[in-house]
C-alpha cells in the first residue's frame, strides 16, 4: 500500500531531527485532542443530564406549589374565610397539614393586619408589632394581588436576616387578603418529597445567579408571579465527573493513531536507510569496477609507456655521450639533455607508482624533503603557469621531511596546482595567482604535520559541489575524468595524512595537504 502523498512530500523535505519533532508534535496534538474531546463530551453529557434532572425536579415542585395555590384560593374565597374565628381555625389546620407554612396572616386591602397564626415549629417568632406594616418587598406584591385578584409572590426577611418566600392570596369578592410565609427549605430535598440523585445538590436563590460558579451547574426559574427565584442544581463533588466508555474509546483511538503514525515513520526511515545502503553499495561496486578497469588500463599503459620512455632516456644518454666523445661543450644543451633524461625517468616512475597504487600494492616509503621536491617540480609548474598567464609563488620551510612515495607526492602537488590554474580560466589574467606554501603545522592535540597549501584566486567551490569534491569520477570540468582529487585524498590517507579545502574570503579556494612530519631524520 502506497503512503499518502502529503506524508511522502513531508518525508522528502525534512531531515531526521525535523521529522522526529513533527512526529512528537502530531502525537501530542492528537492525544491531547482525544483527551480534550473526551472530557468535553463527558462534561456536556453531564450538563445535559443535570439539566434534565433539574427540569423534572422543578416541574414537580411547580405542580406542588400550584396545588397549594389552588387550595389557598379555594379556602380564602369562602364566605366565612375572613371571619376572625374561622380564619384562625383554618389557618391552624393549614399549618398542621403543610409543614412548609411558617406564618399565615389576614390583612385588609390596605395591608392592615387583622389576624395571624404562627406555626409552632417555626424557628423564629415574629413579634406582633414587627409585622403591623408590610415590608416594601412584600407590599408591592400585596397591592398587585389586591388589584388583579391573583396570587403574587414576594420575599421577606426576618429580624435575623433569614429570607423566605411569601404568597399573597386574594379572597374572591372580598377585600381581605391572606399572606402565607413559606419555609423554602421544604422545597429542597429531602424534605420536598421529590426524589433526586444523592450526588446532586439544590440551593434556593431569590434571584437568578449572576455567576453559576462551577462549570457543572444549572439554574432553573420557579416562575412564580412577582418573584424571580431560581433553584440552582450542581454536582456535590467534582469527582463525579469520570470518563465513560465513549471517552475511553476516543482516547484509545487517538493513541492508536499516534502509534500508527510512529510506526509508519519508523518503517519509512528503515526503508529509506535500506535504500540508501543499497545505493551506496551499488555506487561502491560501480566505483570498484571503474577502479579495477583503471588498474588494468594503468597496467597496460605502464607496459606500453615504459619501453618508449626507456628508449627516450637511452637516446638522450647517447646524445650526451656523443657530445662528450666529440669534445663538444655547450652548457645549455648539456643541461637540456640532462633534464630531458631525468623527466623521462620521472615519467616512468610516476606511471609505475600510480599502477602500484591502483593495484593496492604495499606503499613505497621514502624520506622526502618537501623543499627539494618543490624545487624539482618548479620548472613543470612554471611552464603550466606561463601557459595560462598565471603568476606562480612557491615558498617552503627548510628541513620539512615526510615519509611517502616521492612520485605520488609530486603527483598530488601537480594535481592540486593544475586544478588551481584551471579554476582561474575565467579570471582576469592580471589577477591570476597560484601560491604554494609548505610549512610546519601543529594541531590542537599536539600532532605535528607537514602542510602544503595550494591557493588560487578563482571562484571557489560552489555549494552544489562541496559535498562531492573528493568523490571518485565527480568533476565540474567538461573534459575531466573526476579522479584527480579522489586520488589526492586516497594517497594522503594511505600515508597517514589528510586533505582539506576551504573557500577564501577574498575569492578562490585553498586545498591543504597534511602529512605526518618526520622529526628524527
Average pLDDT of 243-270? 71
Mean pLDDT, the chain, integer: 78
Give the Cα-Cα-Cα angle 432, 437, 443 (nearest 5 degrees): 130
- Which pLDDT band, with edges at 50, 70 and 90, does 27 fall under? low
Better pLDDT: 25 or 491: 491
Does the pLDDT of residue 137 top 70, yes or no? yes
| Nearest-angstrom CA–CA distance, 89 and 38 | 61
Does the pLDDT of residue 243 top 60, yes or no? no
pLDDT at 402: 92
pLDDT at 127: 47
Of 65-79, 227-241, 299-313, the least confident: 299-313
Better pLDDT: 444 or 126: 444
Residue 321 class from Cβ within 10 Å (0-12 exposed, 13-18 middle, 19+ buried)? exposed
Does the pLDDT of residue 101 top 80, yes or no? yes
Report percent pLDDT > 90 for the chain.
14
Does the pLDDT of residue 51 top 80, yes or no? yes
- Count of Cβ atoms closer than 10 Å to residue 356 Cβ: 19
Give the Cα-Cα-Cα angle 161, 162, 166 (nearest 5 degrees): 120
- Which pLDDT band, with edges at 50, 70 and 90, does 240 fall under? very low
Give the Cα-Cα-Cα angle 384, 386, 388 (nearest 5 degrees): 75
pLDDT at 290: 57
Better pLDDT: 390 or 77: 390
Does the pLDDT of residue 59 top 90, yes or no? yes
Does the pLDDT of residue 230 top 50, yes or no? yes
pLDDT at 125: 44
Better pLDDT: 369 or 485: 369
pLDDT digit string (tens) for 404-433?
888 888 888 988 998 888 888 888 888 899
* Helix, strand or coil, per DSSP, at residue 328: coil
- DSSP strand pairing (366-369 vs 217-221): unpaired
| pTM beyond 0.85 | no
Nearest in space to 432 (alpha carbons), one of 447, 445, 444, 422: 422
Chain Cα centroid distance, residue 79: 84
- Which pLDDT band, with edges at 50, 70 and 90, does 238 fall under? low
pLDDT at 324: 75
Does the pLDDT of residue 102 top 80, yes or no? yes
Grid coordinates of 520: 628524527
Q: Residue 473 has what DSSP assignment?
A: T
Please, how many CA atoms are within 13 Å of residue 442, restricted to the half-sphere of its CB? 2
- Which pLDDT band, with edges at 50, 70 and 90, does 276 fall under? confident
pLDDT at 159: 65
* Topology of the domain covering 363-516: Heat Shock Protein 90 (3.30.565)
Nearest in space to 434 (alpha carbons), one of 412, 413, 459, 457: 457
- Which pLDDT band, with edges at 50, 70 and 90, does 128 fall under? very low
pLDDT digit string (tens) for 306-346?
667 667 766 677 777 777 777 777 777 777 777 777 777 77
pLDDT at 396: 92
Does the pLDDT of residue 118 top 90, yes or no? no
Average pLDDT of 374-382? 88
Report percent pLDDT > 70 for the chain.
72
| Nearest-angstrom CA–CA distance, 479 and 404 | 30
Amino acid at each position: 500500500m502506497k503512503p499518502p502523498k502529503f506524508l511522502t512530500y513531508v518525508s522528502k523535505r525534512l531531515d531526521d531531527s525535523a521529522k522526529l519533532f513533527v512526529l512528537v508534535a502530531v502525537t501530542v496534538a492528537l492525544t491531547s485532542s482525544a483527551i480534550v474531546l473526551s472530557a468535553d463530551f463527558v462534561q456536556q453529557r453531564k450538563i445535559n443530564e443535570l439539566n434534565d434532572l433539574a427540569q423534572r425536579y422543578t416541574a414537580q415542585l411547580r405542580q406542588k406549589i400550584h396545588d397549594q395555590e389552588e387550595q389557598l384560593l379555594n379556602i380564602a374565597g369562602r364566605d366565612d374565610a375572613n371571619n376572625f374565628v374561622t380564619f384562625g381555625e383554618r389557618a391552624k389546620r393549614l399549618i398542621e397539614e403543610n409543614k412548609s407554612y411558617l406564618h399565615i396572616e389576614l390583612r385588609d386591602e390596605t395591608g392592615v393586619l387583622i389576624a395571624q397564626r404562627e406555626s409552632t415549629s417555626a424557628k423564629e417568632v415574629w413579634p406582633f408589632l414587627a409585622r403591623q406594616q408590610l415590608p416594601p418587598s412584600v407590599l408591592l406584591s400585596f397591592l398587585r394581588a389586591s388589584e388583579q385578584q391573583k396570587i403574587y409572590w414576594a420575599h421577606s426577611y426576618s429580624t435575623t436576616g433569614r429570607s423566605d418566600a411569601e404568597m399573597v392570596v386574594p379572597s374572591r369578592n372580598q377585600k381581605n387578603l391572606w399572606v402565607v410565609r413559606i419555609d423554602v427549605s421544604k422545597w429542597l430535598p429531602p424534605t420536598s418529597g421529590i426524589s433526586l440523585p444523592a450526588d446532586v445538590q439544590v440551593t434556593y436563590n431569590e434571584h437568578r445567579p449572576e455567576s453559576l460558579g462551577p462549570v457543572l451547574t444549572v439554574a432553573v426559574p420557579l416562575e412564580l408571579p412577582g418573584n424571580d427565584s431560581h433553584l440552582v442544581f450542581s454536582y456535590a463533588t467534582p469527582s463525579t465527573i469520570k470518563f465513560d466508555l465513549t471517552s475511553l474509546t476516543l482516547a484509545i483511538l487517538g493513541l492508536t493513531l499516534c502509534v500508527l503514525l510512529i510506526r509508519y515513520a519508523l518503517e519509512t526511515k528503515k526503508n529509506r536507510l535500506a535504500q540508501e545502503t543499497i545505493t551506496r553499495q551499488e555506487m561502491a561496486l560501480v566505483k570498484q569496477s571503474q577502479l579495477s578497469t583503471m588498474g588494468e588500463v594503468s597496467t597496460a599503459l605502464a607496459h606500453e609507456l615504459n619501453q618508449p620512455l626507456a628508449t627516450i632516456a637511452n637516446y638522450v644518454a647517447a646524445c650526451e655521450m656523443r657530445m662528450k666523445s666529440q669534445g663538444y661543450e655547450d652548457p645549455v644543451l648539456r643541461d637540456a639533455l640532462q633534464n630531458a633524461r631525468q623527466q623521462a625517468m620521472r615519467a616512468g616512475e610516476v606511471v609505475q607508482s600510480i599502477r602500484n597504487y591502483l593495484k593496492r600494492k604495499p606503499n613505497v616509503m621514502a624520506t622526502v624533503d618537501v623543499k627539494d621536491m618543490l624545487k624539482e617540480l618548479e620548472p613543470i609548474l612554471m611552464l603550466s603557469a606561463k601557459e595560462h598567464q598565471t603568476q606562480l609563488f612557491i615558498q617552503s620551510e627548510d628541513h620539512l621531511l615526510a615519509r611517502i612515495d616521492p612520485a605520488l607526492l609530486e603527483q598530488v602537488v601537480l594535481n592540486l596546482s593544475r586544478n588551481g590554474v584551471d579554476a582561474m580560466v575565467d579570471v582576469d589574467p592580471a589577477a591570476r595567482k597560484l601560491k604554494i606554501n609548505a610549512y610546519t603545522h601543529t594541531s590542537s592535540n599536539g600532532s605535528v604535520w607537514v602542510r602544503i597549501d595550494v591557493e588560487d584566486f578563482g571562484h571557489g567551490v560552489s555549494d552544489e559541489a562541496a559535498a562531492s569534491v573528493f568523490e571518485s569520477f565527480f568533476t565540474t570540468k567538461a573534459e575531466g575524468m573526476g579522479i584527480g582529487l579522489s586520488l589526492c585524498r586516497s594517497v594522503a590517507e594511505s600515508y597517514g595524512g589528510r586533505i582539506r579545502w576551504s573557500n577564501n574570503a577574498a575569492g578562490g579556494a585553498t586545498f591543504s595537504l597534511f602529512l605526518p612530519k618526520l622529526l628524527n631524520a
